[in-house]
Chains A and B, each alone.
Chain A
Amino acid sequence: MTVYVAPELKPPEPPPEARQLGAWVWLRKNLFNTWYNGVLTVVLAVGIVWGARGAFAFLLSPDRLWGVIPPNATNYAVDVYPRPELTRIWVTLAVVMVLVGLSSATWRPTGKTSWGTILAVVRATGVAAFAVGLLVPPTFVGRNPLLVGGAVLVLLGAVGIRAAGPAAREERLPMLGVLAGVLVLALVVIWLLPVAKTTKVPWTIEVLVLAAAHLVGRPLVRAVGEKTLKVVLSFLWVLSLPVIYLHLERKPVIPWEVVVSWLPWVLPVLVVGYLAILYASRAGRERAAALNALLVVAALAVWFVPSPMVVRLLMLVLVGFTLAAPTFASSGNGRRNFMVGWSGATFFLVYFVTLAVAETGLETQGDFLGGLNLTFLLALGGMLLSFPIGIMMALGRTSTMPIFRLLSTGYIEIVRGVPLITVLFFADKVVPRFLPPGLDFDGVVKAIIAIALFSGAYLAENVRGGLQSIPKGQYEAARALGMTTAQMTMLITLPQALRAVIPAIVGQVISLFKDTSLVAIIGLADFFRVARDIVPNQPASLGSQIENLVMAAVVYWIFTFSFSRASLRLERKLGVGTR
């Protein structure tokens, strides 16, 4: 037996240089490595070329009425929303831009990219444009610009990559800066093209608002602190939806005398709330439970005495606060948060109920919201509301208490068993019959609730999958540290479960976004309905169904594709260092 002893340990070496494959070798290796793969490649290539030529010939035929799309841009965006009030929509968008700008400054997407990647995108765009130029019918006027432009882009990309050399691969361009560059480019383009002033001026302002919000956000993060700002912004995002719907886009006529008549009710409840939270967070579990029982009785009692609706709702909210107080508010910090939360909840409840009872000051026939604006409201509202529903149902279904399990399982199975159209119909036609006379919601609110209830059931199943993927040891460790069930769920299992199912949740959001097109069934004019029915039936654009449908498909695709890209980035960000 020979003995081997290493003389000294070897230091690590750099990996071998990746060999650059020539185009020919690449083709041989990937497309023609066996004779049947070669045949398949040729057949598929012929098929793709044939199909693409057909599609381009169809889309670019002189018979197509593409000219009807741009003049109808406002219709697609907002449908019949009164034109003199359009500023309200722009203000809505500005509100969103402010939130986006502040969020981007607070969350600071750290993604970086390189010149090489950008140039590669330029080159790929050139290749695509050139290929399209080859495939379009020879009579198409844009053929030569496509060919020439494509060639120029390919050349630009290729030369750029070669000139930059190995430096092109260094990832040091912030993704945010690149996005900003793209936005500026888009602005330049709309100012160069013959776009109406009423379009390009507001859009320029919106982009400036976005940039300003981002720039203001940076010092704000330093002044206020990242954590606080994140919490505040999350709340603002959630609040933005009702504020936009109730305040900005409805032009409410507020009945001040009614609001004033609530005050003798609201102020005492507010004070009782402070005292109750203080007591519940200090008195210990048993006495807090007794207080809660008392409050539940009181909350039910106000429904039987003639009192404003706002007070009834406020009492229910208070019960929620005092129920959670012994667990989450027993430290000084938690108590302060609960007091602030209760003040905020009171204020916003009064605010929302006030606006909900206010008549709209807009003079239109029927529903005043429509187009892409409505599509986004429905999607955003459905999404925000479906999260609490989905999470509660998922927790209910995995709960050890049979009554919760039964109720949530029943809910999930029933809702998942019926099509969304049924749920929408139900919300629109059946639910109002069970409401007290005189109390009915707008079609938009009903649609948002129906979509949220529907989507919540699917979300619940996704979240349940996430909860089940949490190892048993996590529960045991939390238990062994003395955490209560509520703390364990909120701090340990739920955050991990949600993280684990991001891809499924994004899938759900995408399908929710597309499903909003079904609200046409209850008479709402969302983007898809405008494109399918309303625009093609106008005298000036008769017979333009195909053009409208293609345009709608492209618009939906652009948004859903951006969602899925954004979620990929999010996954990568959360995946780092967590496993």
Chain B
Amino acid sequence: MADNGKRDIIICEDVKKWFGDFQALRGISTRVYEQEVVVIIGPSGSGKSTWIRCINRLEVHQEGRIIVDGIELTSDVRNIEQIRSEVGMVFQQFNLFPHLTVMQNITLAQTWVRKRTKAEAEEKAMALLERVGIPEQAHKFPGQLSGGQQQRVAIARSLAMDPKIMLFDEPTSALDPEMIKEVLDVMKELAQSGMTMLVVTHEMGFAREVADRVIFMDQGQIVEEGTPEHFFTNPQHDRTKLFLSQIL
């Protein structure tokens, strides 16, 4: 239970992960409560992406514990699929399915994983496309959309599964500057609607405006965490100060 009375939905205890000899995560311990928006920043290679990819087990941690919505991530296949269908993920490269239309991209997993009928799935898809602002693109292929539109479709695709948690892995890093805003606006609206979000990003404006908490990572560990206000006005650790001085 977090101190504001909300339930912890993600619990990480001393999570460690190696790629060969290289240790990518050197013991991550933190808790995320329901409806919290956590922004994770840090230099490249600091383990941010690896960590959030561990949370829906696209990467497998080797030591420590990760508990998502009361279910511990183990190698048991059923746990993994159950967690994956409750944790949505948005990737830097969008990863839409290029052989399917926008509509099919959003309905596919609904029908096969959530077992909805086609009509239900399409209704849901259309509602989500309205929400991300591109209902008119439903019958195009991903290759015909701009980067910002593709990323919004990817967000709609994840939301269609009714996830309890959304993970964003640098969602705006592959976008033209003019398209970043349209994606961030969708994410802001999502945060305001009460979604639990973990966002790896370099968009400090977004962190400052939307985050409940900012985590700064370096060398596979959490260096400093706190409110955005603390971070951008009064950082404590030397490494944090150095990082912020270079990007702001």
Q: Does B58 contact A476, Cβ atoms closer than 8 Å?
A: yes
Q: How big is chain B's contact interface, by range?
A: 20 to 34
Q: In angstroms, how far is the closest chain B Cβ from the Cβ of A575?
A: 10
> In whole Å, how far is A132's beta carbon from the nearest beta carbon of chain B?
46
Least distance between B102 CB and chain A CB atoms (Å):
11
- Indicate whether B97 reaches chain A with its CB closer than 8 angstroms: yes
Question: Do A474 and B161 have beta carbons less than 8 Å apart?
Answer: no
Which of chain B's residues has its CB closest to A473's CB?
A: B95
Decide if B99 touches A499 in the complex (CB within 8 Å). Answer: yes
CA distance A496 to B100 in the complex (A): 10
Q: Is there contact, CB below 8 Å, between A480 and B89? A: yes
Knowing A330-B115, A473-B93, A476-B58, say if A483 contacts B98 (CB, 8 Å).
no
Is the Cβ of B115 less than 8 Å from the Cβ of A482? no
A483 to B112, CA, bound (A): 8
Structural contact, B58 and A483, CB atoms closer than 8 A: no
Q: State the CA gap A484–B82 with chains docked (Å).
A: 11
Query: Which of chain A's residues 325-339 have a Cβ closer than 8 Å to chain B?
Result: 330-333
Q: How far is the CA of A473 from the CA of B96 in the complex (A)?
A: 9
In this assembly, does B185 line the interface, its C-beta being within 8 Å of a C-beta of chain A? no
Given contacts A476-B91, A479-B84, A491-B108, contact A496 B113 (CB under 8 A): no
B58 touches A479 (CB 8 A): yes
- CB-defined contacts of B201 to chain A, threshold 8 Å: none
- Which of B96, B112, B140 interacts with A477 by CB under 8 Å? B96
Among B81, B97, B140, B143, contact of A474 (Cβ-Cβ < 8 Å): B97
CB of B113 within 8 A of CB of A482, answer yes
Q: Known interface pairs A331-B117, A481-B158. Does A579 touch B96 (Cβ–Cβ under 8 Å)? A: no
Q: How far is the CB of A332 from chain B (nearest CB, A)?
A: 7
CB distance from A152 to the nearest CB of B (A): 47
Residues from chain B with Cβ under 8 Å of A484 in the complex: 81
- Asked whether A492 lies within 8 Å of B58 as measured between CB atoms, the reply is no
Residue A487 is within 8 A (CB to CB) of chain B in the complex: yes
Is B172 on the interface with A (CB-CB < 8 A)? no
Chain A 462-483 residues near chain B, CB threshold 8 A: 471, 473-474, 476-483
Minimum distance in angstroms from A189 CB to a CB of chain B: 43
How many chain A residues touch the partner (CB < 8 A)? 26
Asked if A400 is at the interface (CB within 8 A of a chain B CB), the reply is: no
C-alpha gap A71/B177 in the complex (Å): 75
- The chain A residue sitting closest to B141, CB to CB, is A577
A577 touches B144 (CB 8 A): yes
Q: Give every chain A residue within 8 A of B56 (Cβ-Cβ).
A: 480
Please tell me if B85 contacts chain A, counting CB pairs below 8 Å. yes
Instruction: Output the nearest chain A residue to B85 by Cβ-Cβ distance.
Output: A482
A96 to B205, CA, bound (A): 65
Residue of B nearest to A476 (CB): B58
Considering only residues 298-341 of chain A, those with a C-beta below 8 Å from chain B are 330-333
Bound: A492/B161 CA distance, A: 17
> Residues of B contacting A487 with CB < 8 Å?
112-113
Q: Are A481 and B113 also in contact (CB < 8 A) when A474-B97, A499-B99, A577-B144 are?
A: yes
Among A471, A476, A481, the residue within 8 A (CB) of B85 is: A481
How many angstroms between the C-alpha atoms of A407 and B144 in the bound complex? 41
Q: Mark B99-126, 1 if CB is under 8 A from A, else 0.
A: 1000000001101110111100000000
Report the separation of the CA atoms of residues A579 and B141 in the bound assembly, to the nearest whole angstrom: 8
Q: Which residue of B lies closest to A331 (CB)?
A: B115
Q: Is the CB of B113 within 8 A of A483?
A: yes
Instruction: Give the CA-CA distance A9 to B60 in the complex, in Å.
Output: 54
CA distance A476 to B93 in the complex (A): 11
Q: Write the B132-151 contact mask toward A (1 if CB under 8 angstroms, else 0).
A: 00000000110110000000
Q: Are A473 and B91 in contact (CB under 8 A)?
A: yes
A477–B113 contact, CB under 8 A? no
Chain A neighbourhood of B117, CB < 8 A: 331-333
B residues sitting closer than 8 Å to A (CB atoms) are: 56, 58, 78, 81-82, 84-85, 87-89, 91, 93, 95-99, 108-109, 111-113, 115-118, 140-141, 143-144, 154, 157-158, 161
Q: Name A residues whose Cβ lies closer than 8 Å to a Cβ of B.
A: 285, 330-333, 471, 473-474, 476-484, 487, 491-492, 495-496, 499, 577-579
A to B CB contacts below 8 Å, 29 in the list: A330-B115, A331-B117, A471-B93, A473-B93, A474-B97, A476-B95, A477-B97, A477-B154, A478-B97, A480-B58, A480-B84, A480-B89, A480-B91, A481-B161, A482-B81, A482-B85, A482-B109, A482-B113, A483-B109, A483-B112, A484-B81, A487-B113, A491-B108, A492-B97, A496-B97, A577-B140, A578-B99, A578-B141, A578-B143
- Sample of 14 further A-B pairs with CB below 8 A, known A496-B99, A577-B140: A331-B117, A333-B118, A471-B95, A473-B91, A476-B95, A477-B89, A477-B91, A477-B154, A478-B109, A480-B58, A480-B89, A481-B158, A482-B84, A496-B98
Closest 6 CB pairs of A and B: A482-B85, A477-B95, A473-B95, A481-B109, A480-B89, A482-B84
